[in-house]
Chain A
Amino acid sequence: MTDNAETSYDVLIVGGGPAGQAAALELAAVGARCAVIDEQARPGGQILRQPPVSFAAQNWVDENSYRPLRQQLRVFENQAAIAWLGRRSVIGLQPGPQGHSLTTSGADGLQELSAAHVLIAAGCYDMPYPAPGWTLPGAMGAGAMQTLLKAQGIVTGEPIVFAGTHPLMLLIAAQISRAGGKVAEVAFDRSLATIGKSMIRHCATALRNGSLLGEAGKAMMDLRRAGVPVRFGRPLQEITGADRVTGAVFGEADHPETTPCGSIGLCYGFLPQSDLPRQAGLSVRWSSPSGGWATCHDQWMQSSVEGVWVAGETTGVAGAPIARDEGRIAGLGIAAALGLITNRDATRRAAPFRQSRKAAMRFAAMLDDIAAPKQALDRVAASNTTICRCEKVSASAVRETLGSTTDVNAVKRITRCGMGLCQGRNCEHMLIRMSAAAEGRGLETMKGFTGRFPARPVSIADLLEKPLP
């Protein structure tokens, strides 16, 4: 990849993670001019978030499961035909001179880029789980702790508690423990019996994916060796502290148990990034069971808007191997649409990626079943916790308003829930769940906030500035 100052390309790819890289490599191989835009300085996405170039990192994400992704990243970085546009947020997608145009925002202000095709491979983010006390410094998404470790070599306040429903927290806790961080406890919301039932339901898949399960088993063993308790059926009740996190309260209200800690990582699942697709009017669907909006697509990963394609977690959170397969399929689909390869060629070359995607989907469905956050979310919906962090709106204030209207855009205007700097990324999923419950409707029938420009916060000064002709 090379830094590049062009403003017009055949293909613009939003996101330099496994999906975006895979698509760019397919496209570069057939001579398409493509650029990859990312908020980070270096490619990798969140899963392979890289330390600054000036850091010499040893044993950086050296677990086996990362190996194919690391290899792809190396090839991507060495492919000179791909333009790398890092340190930029994409804030808008609209019709442009060549088909589509993207507005980006960076340290030097805004820039317009245009292309015949745009691929959105924007990834996902930690579900903002509104446990009472989650706004305290030291309470964060488990993924935030992992990226602080991977990309910055930093362990958050010790000892660390992990709480949630998603098994990924086992791997994160083990990574932190192996790196020399002190973990106090890993607490699964659901009982081992419930998780066991999910595994039995998917037992054929579990057997076929022995190596992935083995990784979770190894994490458990490493944690046990380090003396870290892994507990099940242990719902988080509250995060305590005055100016920062000092404890995590578990158990039932009548006999609470507190684990003292310096920080807590919450891991209840992941939501697809959906701001840009929704701002551009792409069709989306509610993503069960974790929630959020997955962008709809056809078999070549093209969205409901011609020339706009999607791949990876943007289409529903299913893990990096699937993201990579989808990136390859989208890359081949775009190459065919550009006339660089025949449809027949694209079909033939995409076949193995479709095959591996299908197999990996079964594992993703098992993980979804194990990690289902509904019970944990129902608990906080009934509490008095702050669900909108930016405007500090409580679940109880939202419940009160839901008595008069269940339209989420109306609730937003009345309570200010979702009106802050995060643009609803933190609270919308909770509001939708609460609204659906109040109305007795299925989540898949719900409508979310109206997507608007800009898809990321940008200063008004930057919006007003115009380049000289």
Chain B
Amino acid sequence: MSKRIGFVEPPAPIHIELDGEVVEAYEGESVAALLVLHRDGMSRRDRDGDARGLWCNMGTCSECFVRLLEHGRSRRVRACLLEATDGMRIATGSHTQDD
């Protein structure tokens, strides 16, 4: 299991929705970090249904694309470059296959 360690003292927690499940997060934390904590780093299933994970955590590999659901839109963004904000809604491709 992944875990948080003590060298950072995060502020008061916020909440985001990850595939419909409410999870605790911290303002400014990356959504990729939340995928590591709550999904073992899984971001999607590929066209064969195989589980896929984020690779680089620095905006280069394009493996961590998730959908940011806001303003009545669904926008594909790299989770490693997306900072959590309170009430943010995220859909990963973990339950559906590539589109």
Contacts and interface: CB of A to CB of B under 8 A. Distances in A.
A141 B5 contact: no
Nearest to B68: A107
Nearest to A422: B62
Contacts of B9: 55-58
B72 to A, nearest CB: 13
B39 interface: yes
A244 B2 CA distance: 12
Contact of A139 (B1, B53, B60): B53
A153 B5 contact: yes
Interface string A270-284: 000100000000000
| Chain A, interface residues (CB within 8 Å), range | 35 or more
B23 interface: no
A158 interface: yes
A87 B30 CA distance: 12
A83 interface: no
B88 interface: no
Contacts of A135: 46, 50, 52-53
Contacts of B3: 154-155, 158, 181
Interface in B1-52: 1-11, 26-30, 32-33, 36-37, 39-43, 46-48, 50-52
A54 interface: yes
Nearest to B51: A243
Contact of A54 (B27, B50, B58, B78): B27
B4 A392 contact: no
Interface in A415-431: 420-423, 425-426
Given A125-B60, A128-B61, A421-B65, A243 B1 contact: no
Interface stretch (A142-150, A163-171, A185-193): A142-150
A22 B9 CA distance: 30
Given A154-B4, A392-B46, A392-B47, A41 B28 contact: yes
Q: Is the interface of A mostly helix, strand, loop or mixed?
A: loop
Given A59-B7, A139-B53, A243-B51, A148 B28 contact: no
A244 B54 contact: no
Contact of A153 (B8, B40, B47, B58): B8
Contacts of A125: 56, 58, 60-61
B36 A141 contact: no
A52 B58 contact: no
Q: Is the interface of B mostly helix, strand, loop or mixed?
A: loop
Nearest to A42: B28
A56 B75 CA distance: 31
Contacts of A273: 60
Contacts of A459: 75-76
Nearest to A273: B60
A147 to B, nearest CB: 5
A459 B76 CA distance: 8
Contacts of A392: 46-48
A152 B29 contact: yes
Contacts of A181: 3, 5
A297 interface: no
B94 to A, nearest CB: 9
A58 B7 contact: yes
Interface string A15-29: 000000000000000
A135 B52 CA distance: 6
Interface centre among A39, A125, A144, A148 (most CB of B within 10 A): A144
A126 interface: yes
A358 to B, nearest CB: 29
A56 B8 contact: yes
B33 A152 contact: yes
Interface string A350-388: 000000000000000000000000000000000000000
A425 B61 contact: yes
27 contacts: A39-B59, A54-B11, A54-B27, A55-B26, A60-B8, A89-B81, A125-B56, A128-B61, A135-B46, A135-B53, A139-B53, A140-B41, A141-B56, A148-B36, A149-B5, A153-B6, A154-B4, A154-B37, A158-B2, A158-B3, A243-B42, A244-B53, A273-B60, A420-B62, A426-B62, A457-B78, A459-B75
Given A153-B10, A181-B3, A425-B61, 5 more contacts: A39-B59, A46-B58, A57-B9, A128-B61, A426-B61
Interface of B: 1-11, 26-30, 32-33, 36-37, 39-43, 46-48, 50-63, 65, 75-76, 78, 81, 83
